[in-house]
Structure 1
Amino acid sequence: MTPLPIDDVIPALLSAIRAEGRAVLMAPPGAGKTTRVPLALLDAIPGRIVMLEPRRLAARAAAERMAETLGEAVGDTVGYRIRGEAKVGKATRIEVVTEGILTRMLQSDPGLTGIGALIFDEFHERSLNADLGLALAWEARGALREDLVLIVMSATLDADPVADLLDGAPVLRSQGRAFPVETRWLDAPIRKEVRFETAVAGLVERAVSATEGGLLVFLPGEGEIRRVASALSLPPDCHVHMLFGAMEMKAQRAAIRPAREGRKVVLATAIAETSLTIEDVRVVVDAGRARRARFDPGSGMSRLVTERVSKAEAEQRRGRAGRVAEGTCYRMWTKGEEGALPAFAPPEIEVADLAPLALELALWGAGDGEGLAFLTPPNPGVLDEARALLTDLGALHGGHITDHGKALARLPLHPRLGHMLTIAGRGAADLAALLADRDPLPRGASCDLALRLAALRDPGRHNANRGAVERIRAEAKRLSRLTDHERKMSPAEMVALAYPDRVGLRRKGTDPRYVLSGGKGAVMDEADPLAGTRLIVVTDTDGNPREARIRQAIAISEAELRAIHGERIAWQQVCEWSRREGRVIAREQERFGAIALNDRVWSDADPELVARAMLDGVRQLGLSPSPAAERFRARVALVRASDPDLPDLSDDRLMASLEDWLLPHLSGVRTTGDWKAFDILDALRATLTWDQMQRLDRAAPPHFTTPMARKVPIDYAGEAPEIEVRLQEMFGVTDHPTVGRTPLRVTLLSPAGRPVQTTTDLPSFWSSTYADVRKDMRGRYPKHPWPENPAEAAPTLRAKPRGT
C-alpha cells in the first residue's frame, strides 16, 4: 500500500483503544483516515467494524477503496449498507453505513451483537443522526457493552469537547500530507447586478486559463450546478461533470474517476467537501455558498436557505486542491470579506426538524433526551413542538411511544410520511417517495402536487426531470414492499393524513391567501391554476415565518377532508376580539383546527364570554381613563405612600389584573367605540373596600367645598393637590384651604374661566397682589364685582345687577 500520513498515528490509535476503548482522531483531508483506520482495526478488534459515513456516495466510495486495497470485491471483507442498497456477506468484517442504518442497528439491538467497534467518520459535519448515533452508542456502551470500541474521526471540529463528552477519551492528531495550496481572492466584491451563476462561470473560466490540472467547483445545489454548466465557455479539452447527491451512481462515478484525456471540471455540491478523493483535482473554485435546511418550529415548516460558507467549510474545500499535488484555490470573495465568515456551520440539531429525533428518543425510552451524551442538546421548545406533532399523528400517547409509533420508527421516512404509508398502504408509496424527494418539475411549474403524480406516469408530457422521476419510482417500489395492505384513498386524503396541520382554507378576498389548520398563514401565486381552490393541503412552502409562500399543495374537497379527519371536525362557539374589525365577534363555527368550514352568527352569546373577549380588546387598545378616573388614581397613589394597604392602580398592575377588577363592569361593551366611551371610575372605586374608601376620603378628599357650597374636584396628579375656582367665589376666605396639613394649590379664574393667579397663600394674595389684578380685571369685566377688600366681601358667582 502507498504510505499515507495517517499511518504514523495508527500505532498510537491501537494503543489508545486497547487501553481506553475509545479515541478521538483528528486528521486533515487527504490523510487517509477513512480508508486506513478500519483496515488497521481488522486484527485488533473481534467482531465487525461499523463505520458511519454521513453521505451515501462517500460510503460507497470508501467501501470500494478499502476492498480494492485488499484485492477483493465489495461485499467480501468490506461492504456497505445505504438506504435501498446493501453489499455485505457472511464474511464481511467492515461495514460502511449511512446514518439511518446505524440508528436502526442500535434501536433493534442496543447491545450491538457481533459488533466490536463503531467509527464515526467526518463527525465535524455535525449531522443530526451522527449526534444521535454517538449519544445512543455511548449509553449502550455504558449500560450493556463496556468492550465496545468507539472512535470519532474529524477533520476540522474542536476535539476537546468531543473527548470530554466521551469521558476524557484520548485525542490523537495526524498532520496529514497536504501539498501547498495557493489561495487567490477577488480584488473587489462582485457587483450586485451580476448574476451569481455568471460570476461563478467567469471565475471558472479564469481559473482554467491560468492553471493546469482538474478543477473542482463548489456550488450550493443542483440548480446552480446546471445553470453554471450552461453558462460556461471552456476550451474543447475541458470535460464538465456534475456531482450532487440525487445523481445516478454511474454519473457520480464518472465525476470521481480521473479524466482519460484533457481536463476535468467537476461542478459539485458540499458532497465533495469530505471523505471523497476526486482524482487529479489541482484547482478548487469556491463560490462561497452552502445550502442548509432551516426549520421553523412556530410554523412547523422547513425551508432550504443559501448562506455564506463557514471558515471551516472553506478550509475543507481549499484542502481539496492539495490532495495530489501543489494546487490553487480561487475564492469568490475578497480577503477582507473573509473575516465576516462564521467559524463553523451550525449543527443540524440546532436548525433541523426534530420530529424524527423525537421519535427515535421515544423508541429508545429517553423521552426528552435528558441524560444522553449530546454534544449539542436539542432545544427543549423545538423538541416539545416535535413531540406534539407525533402525538397528533398517534405515534406518542402521554409522552410514550405507541405501537403505531414503533411502526413509524421502522420506516425510512419522516414520521409524517411514515404515518401516511402505514395508514393508506401501498397506494401511498408513490406519494411518500415523491414528497421525500426533490421536486421533479422545473422551476415555475404550478404548485399542484397532482401534476407531480402525473409526471411520474408521463415525465415527457410534464417536462419532468427524468433522473428524478426514475429515482422516485425506484424508491416508491421499495416503499411499497414495506407494507402489506392497501386502503382505497384519494391522493388528497393521503396527503391530509401526513399534514393534518397544513389543511388550508382560502380567505375571503381576491388574493389567494390561506389560513392553515395549524393556525399559520400561507399565500399562493395568484397566477397559479390552483389559486382559486377553496381547500388545499400544503406540502411545501418557502418557510417564511410570517406568511409562507406555497410551493407545493394539492386540492382537497370538504368530503375528502371529512372522510379522513371527520372525528376532529366539530361545531364550536367562538367569542373573540377581532383586531381588524375592532369589536367582539360571536359566532358558531364548524372547525377543523384553526379553519372554519362553516360559520354563522351566534346571536345569543353568553354575556360573560363577550365580556371576556372584550378584555382582549382592552389589552390591545389600552386603558383610557376619564379625568375623574385619573384623579381617583392619583388620590390612591398619594395615600398609598403612607397606607400601603390600598390597591396599586398603576397601568401595569391594572392591565395585569383586568379579569379581577374590570370584567364585572364590561356588560354591553363590545366595540372600540364602546370602550372609548366607557368610564372606568366605578370599576376602580369597586377595588377599594368601604373602610379603605373612608380612609382615602379622609386623607385625600375628592373635592373642595367652596364658600358657596359648590364642590370642586381636587386634582392630585401634580406636585401638590390643586383646584381651579372662580376668583369671586373665594371672596371672604381668610384661611387658605388645605388637605390635611398640605396647602391646596389654588388657581383663581377670571369670569371667562382663564387663569388669573395661582397661590398657596390666599390671605397673602388678597393683601398684596390682588390690587394689581383688580386694576386689570375690573376694566375687562366691569359687570363683575371687584371689591377693594375681598377678605370681607361676600362670595358670588353672579354679575353685578344692571345699573350698578
Structure 2
Amino acid sequence: MPDLPIIAALPALRAALAAHSRVVLEAPPGAGKTTVVPLELLAATWRNPADKILVLEPRQLAVRGAAARLAQLLGEPVGRTIGYRVRLDSKVSRETRVEVITEGILTRMIQDDPALEGVAAVVFDEFHERSLNADLGLALALDAQAVLRPELRILIMSATLEAQRLGQWLPAPVVSSAGFLFPIDTHYLDPRRASALPNKPNERLAELVPAQVRAALSTHPEGDILVFLPGVGDLQRSARKLTDALADHVDLHLLHGELPLETQDAALRPARAGRRKVILATSIAETSLTIEGVRVVIDGGFARVPRFVPRTGFTTLETVPVARAAADQRRGRAGRLGPGTCYRLWTEAEHHNLPAHRPPEIHTADLSSLVLELALWGAADPTSLRWLDVPPTAAFSQARDLLVRLGALEIIKNEELKFKNEVVSNGSSGIKAHNPSAEQPIFNSALKPTAHGRKLAALGLPPRLGHLVVRGQELGHGSAAAALAALLAERDLLRWASPTDTRPAPPDLRLRLEAYANGRAPLPGLALHHATLQRVRDVARNLMNRLGLREPSSNQAIMQSPVGLLTALAYPDRLAQRETHDRLRLVTGQRVSLNTTEVDPQATFFAVAHLAGTSSAPRATLAAPLEQDELETAFADQITITDEVRYDPTAQRVTGRRMRRLGALLLAETVIGQPEPALVVRALLSYLQEVGISKLNWTPAARQLQQRLEFMRQHFPASESTLEEERWPAFDEETLAHELAEWLGPHLTGLKTLSDVQRLDLTEPLLARLPGGWNQRQTLDRFAPAALEVPSGSHITLDYSDGAAPVLAVKLQELFGLTETPTVAGGRVPLLLHLLSPGGRPAQVTRDLRSFWERGYFEVRKDLKGRYPRHPWPDKPMEHIPTRLTKKRLGQ
C-alpha cells in the first residue's frame, strides 16, 4: 500500500462505516482516497465476501485509470478482483468485487434492481464535481437504502465540497484526511502583462499558453508539464503552435474524452527514459487521475460548461472562468509525486474574484434524462426524494413537457393527493418510499412512463436521441437512425483540412452521415477525424445490436435516408422555416441564424440539431433540410388551421387569411373573402388599440359627453352609493382605451374600414357604459347638463374639460339680474364664469357673481363701454333686464 495521507484517516473511516450506513470522507487532492479506500472496504467486516463495492467516477478516463491502479496494487490484471464498466466497454468477471463505474451506470443498475442485491457499498468519488448523474444516483441510492437496504453503505468522498454541510444534510459522520504530500510553488500572471492581453478567452490563451510552456520547459529541466485548457479547439490551437517549437526529446500529447483509449493511455503513461511530456488537457484531468511524472501545471483559468435555458430549451457551451475549487484541483496535479510548480494564467487579484465553486450541474443542465428516470422510479414530485439541491422548477417543467411531447411520459391527473410518506409500488422499479420526514403533498398529477419511455431509458441515450432511434426504426430507417443518433451524441467528426482554418465545418448534417457511411471527407477542403469516426461507428453498432438490427450491407440505405425527418424526430421544438438566406424561424417563434446556402439553398424547412452562440442570439451549427410533406405527415396532429383577420393600414380595410401552421411555422395561407364578423370587429379593435382612441370620431358633443361622465365619477364616487346601477364608472382616456372592446366593440359589427369607424357617433357607445341605464342618463342631464339656460333665455354649452371647475362662458349682459353663481352636481360645484365682452372676449373670470356685480363690473364697464357703446351698461346690473341684444334692438 503506498504511503499516502489518507492512510492516517483509515482507522476513523473504518469505525464510522462500522457504526453508520452513511459516511462523508473529506480528502484534499493528492490524499490518495481513490487509490486506497476501495481496497480498504474489501476487508470490512460488515461486507459479505461475495458482495461488490461500487466506485463511481465522473469520467470514463478516470474509471479506467482508477481500475488499472487498484488492480496494479493487487498485482492482478483488470477484470479479476478489480473491474470496470463504462458505456460500450467493460472488464468484469465472476471474481470482481470492486467495480469502478461511471455515475450514469449506477442509475441503470438501481433502476433494474432497486435493492442493489449483491452490493455492499456505493462509493461516490469526486462528489464535489456535483454532476447531474451523481446527484441523481445519490438520491436513488438514499431512497433505496431508506426502504429496502438499510445495511447498504453509502460513502461520499469529496475533495473541496463543504463536508460539514454534506454531513449535516445526510446526516452522516465526517472523516477528514490530510492534504498534499509535497509543496507546490504557485505563480500568477503579471498584472502589466494581463492588461495588454485580448479579452476573448481563446485569443488570450492562444497568446499565453505556448509561451508559458516554452518558458516552463526552460525553467524546469526535469518533469512533465500538464496544461489545462477549456476546450478541444483550444488544445488544437496550442498544439499547432507548439509542434515545431518543442525540443526533439519533448513529446506533445492531447488529452480529452473524445480520443481513442490508446491515445488517452499514451498521455497518462510515464515518459520514456530521457524524454519529457507536455500534456494539453481539458478539465478531464482535474480529478481522479495521477499522471506520473507531472511536476508543472499550467492552468489557463477557463472551463467549458453547458448552460441550459428552460425558456428556449437550448443548451449551449460557454467558456467561463474556472472556480477556485477547480483551480485548487488543477494545482494539486503538480504535487502528487514530488514538489511541484503551478503557473496560473491570471492575476492574483483576479483569483480572489473567482467563484468559490462551480454551480451544481443540476442548476444548469437539461433535465429530460433525470425526469424520465424519476418517472421510472415512481417519483412524480422531485422533492419526494432527497437532494442536496432540488431540481429547478422551470427546467423540470420544461423537461417534463418535452418528454410528454416525445411520448415518453403521460400525465395522469390525481384528484386525491397522496403524501410523500406513502409507500408506492411501482412495477418497473420495485417498492420505494418517499421521504417520511416531509409533509407536503406531491404534484397533483403523476408522471407515468409509457412503453416508449421505457425503451428510451433502456438505450442509455438522452431522451431526444433515444426517441430518434426508436421512432426511426419504426419508420424503417433503423440503421440510419442509429448512425445519426451516434453522430449527434459525439463530437463532430468533420473539420477543415488546413490546420490554420478554425472555422466550424459546414452545418449540413447530411455531410456527417455521408462521411460515416463512406469513411472519407465528403467535400474538398474537409478532413475526417478518424478517431471520432471510429467511436461513432462503435456507438451506432452497439445501438443496432440492441435493437436487433443488422448493419446494412450497402451504405446507400444510410446515405439516402430522410436525414431531416429523422433529425426532426429528436428535435421537434427546433423545426424551422427559412425567413432569409441566413435566418430561420423556429417552431417556437424564436429566430436562429443559419447560412442556408451551406445546407440547401432551395429548402424552405429545416430541422436544427445543435445550437451555439447565446440564448439571445443562437446559431444553428448542425441542421438538415426536410420536405413539407414529411413535416406534415410526421407532425399532423400538431398542425392547426386558424383564420387571421387584421386591419391592413395600406389597404385601409380589414383583410383575412386562412393559415395552416405548425407552431410558428406557416405551411399555407389563403385569402378569406368574407371573414367572420366577430373576427373583423376584433381586428378593428386591435388596430385602434395600437394607434390610440384619438383616431375615433371625437366630435365636440362626444368629447363633452366623455368629460361630463368623468365629472360625475369624480364628484359622486362609488363610496357614496350602495347600488351598482347608481355608480359612475371611469371615463378617462386610459380606461376607455383599456376597455375599448367592452364599450365600442358591440357597435362595430358590420364595419370594415377605419373610415367606417370614424363616422360612428360615440355618444351612444359612451352612454351604454352606464350601469343604471335610462335613469342614470337622466341623472347625468340633471347634475351635469350639457348646457345651461341663462337669464337672457340663451342655452349656453358648458365646458367640463376641467372636472374640478366646469366653465360657463357667457356674455355678461346675459346675466343681468342674476345674483348667485350657477352650480352643477346638485349645488356641489359652482361654475367658473368666463364673463365675456359683447365681442366674445373674456372680460372677467369669477366664481362669485354677486361680488363681481358689486365691484368688478364697474371696472369692466369703464374699460368696455366706450368700445361697445351700443350695448347696455346699466348702473344697477343686478336689477337690469338680461339681454343678448343691443340697446337699439331693445328699443332704448
- Structure 2 length-normalised TM: 0.82
Distance in 1 separating the partners of 2:752 and 2:255 = 63
Gaps of 5+ in 1: none
Give structure 2 stretches of 5+ with no counterpart: 412-446, 496-502, 551-556
How far apart, CA to CA, are the structure 1 residues paired with 2:607 and 2:213?
43
Residues 368-517 of structure 1 mapped to structure 2, 5 A cutoff:
368-398=381-411, 399-425=447-473, 426-427=478-479, 428-442=481-495, 443-456=503-516, 457-462=518-523, 463=526, 464-484=528-548, 490-507=562-579, 510-517=580-587
The amino acid of 1:447's aligned partner reads: P
Contact 2:767 2:777 in 1 (8 A): no
- Relative to 1, partners in 2 of residues 1:525 and 1:489: Cα closer, same or farther, differing over 3 Å? closer
In structure 1, distance between residues paired with 2:522 and 2:41: 54
1:418: how far off? 0.7
Report the CA distance shift for 1:185/1:547 in structure 2 as closer, same or farther (over 3 A). closer
- In the TM superposition, residue 449 of structure 1 has moved relative to its aligned partner by 0.8
Rounded to whole Å, the distance in 2 between the matches of 1:22 and 1:577 is 68
Match of 1:359 in 2: 372
Moved more, 664-673 or 293-302: 664-673
For residue 721 of structure 1, what is the aligned residue in structure 2?
Answer: 805
Alignment check: 8 A CA contact 1:181 1:321 kept: yes
Equivalent position SS for 1:76: coil
Give the deviation of 1:432 after TM superposition: 0.5
Which of 281, 286, 289 is equivalent to 1:268?
A: 281
Distance 1:778 1:517, change over 3 A: farther
Q: 2-side partners of 1:307 and 1:752: how far apart?
A: 80
1:608 maps to 2:656: no
Tell me, in whole angstroms, the C-alpha distance in 1 between the residues paired with 2:395 and 2:383: 14
Structure 1 position 430, deviation (Å): 0.8
| Structure 2 equivalent of residue 705 of structure 1 | 788
* Structure 1 partner of 2:215: 206
Bigger mean CA offset, 198-207 vs 63-72: 198-207
Please tell me the residue identity of whatever aligns with 1:440. L
Matched-pair contact (CA < 8 Å) for 1:285–1:331 = yes
Number of equivalent positions:
800
For 1:385, give the aligned amino acid.
Q
Q: Say whether 1:88 aligns with 2:92.
A: yes
1:257 to 258, 263, 269: 269
- Post-superposition shift, 1:82? 0.5
Name the SS for the 2:73 alignment partner.
helix
Q: Distance between the aligned counterparts of 1:763 and 1:448, measured in 2?
A: 91
Give, in whole Å, the separation in 2 of the partners of 1:699 and 1:316: 86
Alignment correspondent of 1:334:
347
1:323 Cα deviation from its structure 2 partner: 1.9
1:664 alignment partner, SS class: helix
Partner of 1:79: 83
Seen in structure 2, the aligned counterparts of structure 1 residues 577 and 325 have a Cα distance that, compared at 3 Å, is: farther
| CA drift at 1:134 | 0.5
Partner of 2:125: 121
CA deviation after TM superposition for structure 1 residue 587, in Å: 2.2
Structure 1 counterpart SS, 2:547 = coil
Aligned counterparts, 1:592-603, within 5 A: 592-603=662-673
Q: Secondary structure at the match of 2:635?
A: helix
Name the aligned partner's letter for residue 58 of structure 2.
Answer: P
What amino acid maps onto 1:382 in structure 2?
Answer: A
Q: Distance in 2 between matches of 1:417 and 1:312?
A: 34
Among 217, 232, 248, which residue is 2:260 paired with? 248
* 1:654 Cα deviation from its structure 2 partner: 6.8
Deviation, 1:171, is 1.1
Q: 1:687 aligns with which of 769, 793, 796?
A: 769
Q: Is 2:22 aligned against 1:22?
A: yes
1:628-671 residue CA offsets vs partner (Å, 9 max, x unmatched): 43553353144226426536537887777666555434546778
* Contact 2:187/2:344, CA 8 A, preserved across alignment: yes
Tell me the SS of whatever aligns to 1:388: helix
Does the CA contact (< 8 Å) of 1:296 and 1:543 recur in 2? Answer: no
How much has 1:466 moved relative to structure 2? 2.1
Residue identity in the other structure for 1:254:
A
Matched residue type, 2:575: V
Q: Which moved more, 1:431-440 or 1:279-288?
A: 279-288
Does residue 664 (structure 1) correspond to residue 746 (structure 2)? The answer is yes
Q: Distance in 2 between matches of 1:798 and 1:526?
A: 84
For 1:18, what is the secondary structure of its paired residue? helix
User: Aligned letter for 2:351?
Assistant: E
**Cα gap change, 1:773/1:35 in structure 2, threshold over 3 Å: closer, same or farther?**
farther
Counterpart residue type for residue 435 of structure 1: L
Q: What CA deviation, in whole Å up to 9, does each residue of 1:588-635 have, x standing for no partner?
A: 122223212111123332222344456655666666596443553353
- 2:852 aligned partner: 765
Distance in 1, matches of 2:250 and 2:315, equals: 38
Q: Indicate the residue corresponding to 1:172 in structure 2.
A: 175
* Residue 325, structure 1, aligned to residue 409, structure 2: no
Kindly provide the CA deviation profile for residues 104-155 of structure 1, in whole angstroms up to 9, marking residues without a partner as x. Answer: 0011111111111111111111111111111111111111111111011111
Question: What is the alpha-carbon distance in structure 1 between the residues aligned to residue 73 and residue 162 of structure 2?
Answer: 31
In 2, the alpha carbon distance for the partners of 1:230 and 1:756 equals: 93
Query: Are the structure 2 counterparts of residues 579 and 210 from structure 1 closer, same or farther at C-alpha, using a change threshold of 3 Å?
Result: farther
Counterparts of 2:208 and 2:520, CA distance in 1: 33
Tell me the CA shift for residue 424 of structure 1. 1.6
Distance 2:322 2:649 in 1: 43
CA contact (8 A) 1:631 1:717 kept: no
Distance in 2 between residues matched to 1:410 and 1:125, nearest whole Å: 26
Counterpart of 2:239 in structure 1: which amino acid?
A
Q: What is the one-letter code of the residue matched to 1:688?
A: L
Q: What residue is the counterpart of 2:713 in the other structure? A: 636
Cα deviations by residue, 1:324-343 (Å, 9 ceiling, x for unpaired): 22222222222222233222
User: 1:377: Cα distance to partner?
Assistant: 0.9
Post-superposition shift, 1:565? Answer: 2.7
Give the corresponding residue for 2:623.
553
Q: Equivalent residue of 1:481, what SS?
A: helix
Q: CA RMSD in A?
A: 3.4
SS at match of 1:470: helix
1:215 maps onto 2:225 in alignment: yes
Structure 1 residue matching 2:54: 3-state secondary structure: strand
Cα distance between partner residues in 2 of 1:253 and 1:528: 38
- Alignment-derived partner of residue 444 in structure 2: none
Q: For each residue in 1:49-92, what CA deviation from the matched residue of structure 2 results, as whole angstroms up to 9, or x when unmatched? A: 11111111001101111000111111111111101101110010
Equivalent pair of 2:509/2:563 in contact (CA under 8 Å): no
Moved more, 378-387 or 670-679: 670-679
Shift of 1:798: 7.2
Partner residue in 2 for 1:289: 302
- AA of the residue aligned to 1:450: R
How far the C-alpha of 1:403 sits from its partner, in A, is 0.6
- The C-alpha deviation readout for 1:547-583, integer Å capped at 9, x for no partner, is 5322111011112223423344353334478999999
Range that drifts further, 757-766 or 775-784: 775-784
- Secondary structure of the equivalent of 1:40? helix
